[in-house]
Structure 1
Amino acid sequence: MSRKSKIKATEKVKIVERYLNGELSQKGAAKACGVNKRSIQDWIRIYKTDGPTGLLEQKKIRQYPKALKIQAVQDYLSGLGSMDEICLKYGIWQHPQLLNWIKMYNEGKELKELTGGTSMKKARKTTPQERLMIVKDCLDHDRNFGAMAIKYNCSYQ
C-alpha cells in the first residue's frame, strides 16, 4: 500500500530545505504548498530522520518494533520530550501513530510487534468451518488479525 501525495517529493524537499535555511516559515511553507502546517511539520521531521529520501512515496506501511513503541510511549509520559521531539528521536513519522500507542498503553492494551500487513494479499480458498476456526482463534488471541492472517496463510479480511 502506498501513500500518495499531491505534492511531489522534490517540491517537499525544496520547501523543507528552504525552511531549514531560514528562508521560509512553517506557515509560509504551508500556504505556498496549499497544505496545513501539520503536514509541513511532518515533512520536516521525516527529512530530519531519514533525509530527503524519506519524503519519497513509500511502497509499504512503516512498522515499528514493540520495544521502540514502549520506549517512545514511556519517554513521552515521563516528560522526556514533546510529541515532536519523541517522534524525531524514535523516527516516528506521524503524531497520530504515537498518540495511538499512548492510548493503547494507557488502556492496558499490549503494543504488538505485528500490526497486519497482509490486507491486500490474494486469499487462498477457505471452507466455512476453517473460517470459523480462524475467527475463534483470533478472538482467543486478543483480536490480532495480522498474526492470524500470517498463521493461517489467508487474507487479513
Structure 2
Amino acid sequence: MGRKGKIDYELKIKAVEEYLNNVGSQTSIASKYGVTRNSFRQWIVNYQSMGKEALMNKSHNNFYSKRI
C-alpha cells in the first residue's frame, strides 16, 4: 500500500513561501510544520525548479488486477 502525504499541499506552499520571504530558517520552519529539514529542503528545491505543482501529493495506483 502507498503512503498518504502527511502535509497537505497548501501547508507545503505556505511553509516554502515563509522561507523564501525570510520569515525563518529552514530548521525553524521545518520544525514548525513537523517535518525533517531534509524533507523541507526538498520542497524548496522542487518549488523553485518546477513551481507549486511540484508540491502536490501524488496519487499512486491503488487498483491491482486479480491476475498475477
Instruction: Work out the CA distance in 2 between the residues paired with 1:84 and 1:99.
Output: 9
Q: Secondary structure at the match of 1:102?
A: helix
4+ residue stretches of structure 1 with deviation over 4 A? none
- Tell me the equivalent position of 1:99: 41
CA distance in 1, matches of 2:19, 2:43: 11
Alpha carbons of structure 1 residues 83 and 148: separation in structure 2 relative to 1, 3 Å: closer
Matched, 1:88 2:23: no
Check the 8 A contact 2:5/2:57 in 1, yes or no.
Answer: no
1:64 and 2:7 correspond: yes
| Percent identity of paired positions between Structure 1 and Structure 2 | 30
Q: Where in structure 2 are the equivalents of 1:1-157 lying within 5 Å?
A: 63-92=6-35, 94-109=36-51, 110=53, 111-114=55-58, 147-150=59-62, 153-154=63-64
Q: Which runs of 5+ in 2 are unaligned?
A: none
After TM superposition, the score normalised by the length of structure 2 is 0.72
With CA pairs under 8 Å and 6+ residues apart, which has the higher RCO, 1 or 2?
Answer: 2
Cα distance, 1:66 vs. partner? 0.5
Q: For the residues of structure 2 that align with 1:82 and 1:148, how far apart are their CA atoms?
A: 32
RMSD (Å), alpha carbons: 2.0
Distance 2:13 2:32 in 1: 13
Q: Which runs of 5+ in 1 are unaligned?
A: 1-59, 115-146
Taking structure 1 as the reference length, the TM-score comes to 0.34
How many residues align structurally?
60
Q: In structure 2, how many angstroms separate the alpha carbons of the residues matched to 1:69 and 1:113?
A: 10
